[in-house]
Amino acid sequence: MPWKCLLGPQDRLPAGVPLDDWYAELLERAGHAGSFELAVLGGRLAATPGLAFLAGYQAALRALWPAAPLSLGALCVTEKKSVRPADLQTRLDGLVLHGRKDFATAADRAAWWLVAARDEDDGEPPRLAMTVVLAGTPGASLEPLPALPLLPDIPHARLLLDGAHCERLPGDGWETYSKPFRTLEDAHVLAAICAWLYGLANALRWPAELTLRLVGVLAGCAEVSRQPASQVETHLLLAGVFSQFEGLSAALETAFATADPALAAAWRRDRGVLAIASAARAKRLEKARTALGLDPGQ
């Protein structure tokens, strides 16, 4: 999908519809777009920061697993606030899963879940497999979770697995899927939310300089999305794009001061989603600077 389509006028999709229906409409409009273009288009079509986040999250899933079905999905790794393989208890026995995942984004509307599970033999170091479970599979059920302070329009759930049949994906569950997803999610969610802001900037006639600076962030996200998520230089590039976006804080605050109060309140509430993984990004940046021969203290 060319930049002309992504940056030109767009009619937002309505909010308040089921998330899977909203996402199906986004996919129809996106056609054969790549993951970055899907994130940006989703941000342009989103009526809320939460829907922009959802578009970026789903785009990151497709960057992670290009063969993903054309329907809403969720990555399920976290158990007791941890994603470290050694802390996970969900087990894969053949092609059957037992355990639970404590945090699954929009899982109640998802058609499939990517589930990380331990599969090492006794006495071996922790090892993860990545599996796919289809919604409606016997032995797989959801427990709704209370709405979060951020993005209240995007629900979360706990996934309970009691003998649920699954498909196993090729590759290592940690190195091929769980670990790179952190970087993919950061890049695609930033792109989607930045695209949402860009659409507002044009609709509300915010200063041209702010609009152009948002375009600059989008261009940076496009370059990051083209790089392998596991490479250290990608983490440096991503940190640079986040720094560029964070430099817009004062200008955005001034712009939202003239916007509809409800819209400004939604932004001030939901913008914190971009800071959730800041500590992990900082650690990846430090490792990247060291690997590249740079001084982490500079």
pLDDT above 90 (res 70): yes
pLDDT at position 101: 97
pLDDT of residue 243: 97
R_g over Cα of the chain: 19
pLDDT band at 229 (very low <50, low <70, confident <90, very high): very high
Burial class (CB in 10 A: 0-12, 13-18, 19+), 10: middle
Average pLDDT, the chain: 95
In 164-294, where does DSSP find H-type helix? Answer: 179-203, 208-225, 232-246, 249-256, 261-270, 278-291
Does pLDDT of 222 surpass 60?
Answer: yes
- Contact predicate 79/103, CB 8 Å: no
Residue 254 has a pLDDT of: 96
Do residues 58 and 72 touch, judged by C-beta distance below 8 A?
yes
pLDDT at 296 over 60: no
| Boundaries of every domain in the chain | 3-64+176-291, 73-168
Q: Mean of the pLDDT values across residues 77-99? A: 95
| Pair type for strands 156-165 and 140-144 | antiparallel
- What pLDDT score does 1 carry? 79
Q: Which residues contact 274 (CB under 8 A, 6 or more apart)?
A: 189, 190, 193, 242, 245
| Banded pLDDT at 298 (limits 50, 70, 90) | low
What dotted CATH number matches 73-168?
2.40.110.10
Contacts of 130 (CB under 8 A, 6+ apart): 114, 115, 116, 168, 169, 171, 173, 176, 177, 178
The whole-number average pLDDT for the span 283-289 is 93
Q: Sort 185 into a burial class: Cβ within 10 Å, 0-12 / 13-18 / 19+.
A: buried
119 CB-near residues (< 8 Å, 6+ apart): 91, 92, 127, 128, 129, 173
* Angle in degrees, CA 75, 43, 244, rounded to 5: 95
Predicted TM-score (pTM) above 0.85: yes
Q: For residue range 37-59, list pLDDT tens digits in order.
A: 999 999 999 999 999 999 999 99
Cβ atoms of 114 and 139 within 8 Å: the answer is no
Q: What is the mean pLDDT of residues 198-205?
A: 96
- The average pLDDT across 237-242 equals 97
Q: What are the DSSP calls for 40-74, one per residue?
A: HHHHHH-SSHHHHHHHHHHHHHHHH-TT--SS-EE
Residue 21 above 70 pLDDT? yes
For residue 87, give every residue at least 6 positions away whose Cβ sits within 8 Å of its Cβ, in sequence order, or none.
79, 80
- How far is Cα 51 from Cα 17, in angstroms, rounded to an integer? 11
pLDDT for the residue 45: 97
Please write the tens of the pLDDT for every residue from 119-174.
998 889 999 999 999 999 999 999 999 988 999 999 999 999 999 999 999 999 99
Q: Is residue 74 a contact partner of residue 131, using CB atoms and an 8 Å limit?
A: no
Three-state DSSP at 189 gives: helix
Q: What span, in angstroms and rounded, lies between the C-alpha atoms of 137 and 216?
A: 44
Rounded mean pLDDT of 110-121? 96
